[in-house]
């Protein structure tokens, strides 16, 4: 990870809530295609009891984040992981994914799922590096003609 990035868990009642969520929403609008953006859902999703949000701040700005949820002890989901384009290839994505996996471990989650655009080879490779395996291709996941890999990792094995 870059030396100036610090991972923080967003607390529901923190003074920084609005600032961080607004920065994430802006980031999503810049990075994701309209059909893939979770801007409308980010604020509501991160307020849910069984969800978490980790972010990296550098020079007072959010440069990356990961949203995850654990509906049960059987499984968790990485809902979104993103790093600003100018801050990529500095280990932020790895640090965020590792942080989310560790949070899921503390909740004794058995398996983590995620969905990723198969053309996003950097993201697919990152997930594979952490032991995620492709479970299948979901046709029309993001929009008609825009598919997603469904990937998973079993936490009690050494591969995740």
- The predicted pLDDT at position 47 comes to 58
Place of tokens 């004794």: 108
Highest-pLDDT range among 18-22, 39-43, 133-137, 152-156: 133-137
Percent of the chain predicted with pLDDT > 70: 82
- pTM across the whole model: 0.80
**Cross-strand pairs, 6:** 57
Domain 6-154, architecture per CATH: 3-Layer(aba) Sandwich (3.40)
Residue 17 has pLDDT above 50, yes or no: yes
Residue of 74 and 4 predicted with greater confidence: 74
Q: At what angle do helices 92-106 and 121-129 cross, to 10 degrees?
A: 50
The pLDDT mean for the chain works out to 82
Residue 59 has pLDDT above 70, yes or no: yes
Domain-by-domain residue ranges, the chain?
6-154
Confidence of residue 1 (pLDDT cuts 50, 70, 90): very low
Structure tokens belonging to residue 29: 């609008």
DSSP string, the chain: --TT-EEEEPPTT-TTHHHHHHHHHHHHHHHS-TTT--HHHHHHHHHSTTEEEEEEEETTEEEEEEEEE-SSSSEEEEEEEEE-GGG-SSSHHHHHHHHHHHHHHHTT-SEEEEEE-TT-HHHHHHHHHTT-EEEEEEEEEEETTEEEEEEEEETTSTT-
Calculate mean pLDDT across residues 97-107: 90
Residue 140 has pLDDT above 90, yes or no: no
- The predicted pLDDT at position 15 comes to 73
């Amino acid at each position: 990870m870059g030396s100036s990035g610090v991972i923080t868990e967003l607390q529901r009642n923190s003074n920084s809530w609005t600032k961080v969520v607004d920065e994430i929403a802006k980031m999503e609008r810049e990075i994701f295609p309209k059909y893939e953006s979770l801007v409308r859902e980010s604020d509501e999703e991160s307020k849910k009891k069984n969800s978490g949000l980790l972010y990296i701040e550098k020079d007072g700005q959010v440069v990356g984040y990961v949203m995850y949820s654990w509906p049960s002890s059987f499984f968790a989901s990485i809902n979104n992981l993103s790093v600003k384009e100018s801050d990529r290839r500095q280990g932020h994505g790895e640090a965020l994914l590792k942080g989310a996996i560790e949070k899921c471990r503390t909740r004794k989650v058995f398996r983590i799922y995620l969905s990723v655009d198969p053309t996003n080879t950097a993201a697919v490779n990152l997930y594979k590096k952490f032991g995620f395996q492709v479970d299948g291709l979901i046709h029309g996941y993001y929009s008609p003609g825009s598919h997603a890999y469904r990937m998973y990792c079993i936490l009690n094995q050494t591969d995740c």
